[in-house]
Every structure is written in C-alpha cells, then in structure tokens.
Amino acid sequence: MEKRKVVTLCGSVRFWNKIQEMSERLELENEYVVIGIIPHVMDRNLTESEKDILGELHRIKIDLSDAIFVVNVNGYIGESVKKEIEYAKEKGKEIIYLENN
C-alpha cells in the first residue's frame, strides 16, 4: 500500500458542512489522512486564551502534515486562514485549494 499524504484542513467554520464533507471525501476517495478542525468552536464564544491555544494547536497540526487543504468556498479565505496558509508556506508544506483562486 502506498503511503497516504497527511493533510490538515483549513477553512472558515461558517463552511462547517463543506469542511466535514471534504474530510470524508479526501479520506475515502483520494486516500489522504485528514487532520480536521475541532467542531465545538461553533457552539459558543471562545475566550482570547482559548483562541490562542487553538491557533497553536492548528500550527502543530500543520507541522505534522505534508500539506494543508484549504476549504475556500466561493473563493473565501478569512484572516486566520490566510495566516495558516502563510505558516504552511514558511514550513514548506504543499497548499491544496478546494477552489482555484
């Protein structure tokens, strides 16, 4: 069996359903190992400390990955995702987009 590429999903939680869809699709159809986004961030407002922790954890996920997969529905890329893309580029990770910009 060929080694699967590890990807971290990046995208706005406003597109949560598409993020979940892509997680399933990437694993089942394209043979990726997907590191996802914590789902509970939509259920309540996070403190600044919690946002910092989640940002740090997301950077660690990117470090563990071969690539990031940007779920950019209708080309939308928010400020936090732009930072994640820049971080991934600095680390030499492949950047894969759902939609070409």
Domain ranges of the chain: 5-97
Q: Which of these CATH numbers, 3.90.640.10, 3.40.470.10, 3.40.50.720, 3.40.50.450, describes 5-97?
A: 3.40.50.450
Give the pLDDT of residue 62. Answer: 97
Whether the pLDDT of residue 42 is over 70: the answer is no
Question: By three-state DSSP, how is residue 8 classified?
Answer: strand
Which runs of consecutive H residues, i.e. helices, occur in the chain?
A: 16-29, 48-64, 79-90
**What is the rounded CA–CA span in Å between residue 51 and residue 54?**
5
User: Is residue 40 predicted with pLDDT exceeding 70?
Assistant: no
pLDDT of residue 60: 96
Percent pLDDT > 90 in the chain is 68
Residue 54's pLDDT is 87
Confidence check: pLDDT of 35 > 90: yes
Q: Is the pLDDT of residue 6 over 80?
A: yes
> 52-96, pLDDT tens digit by residue?
998 899 999 999 999 999 999 999 999 989 999 999 999 999 999
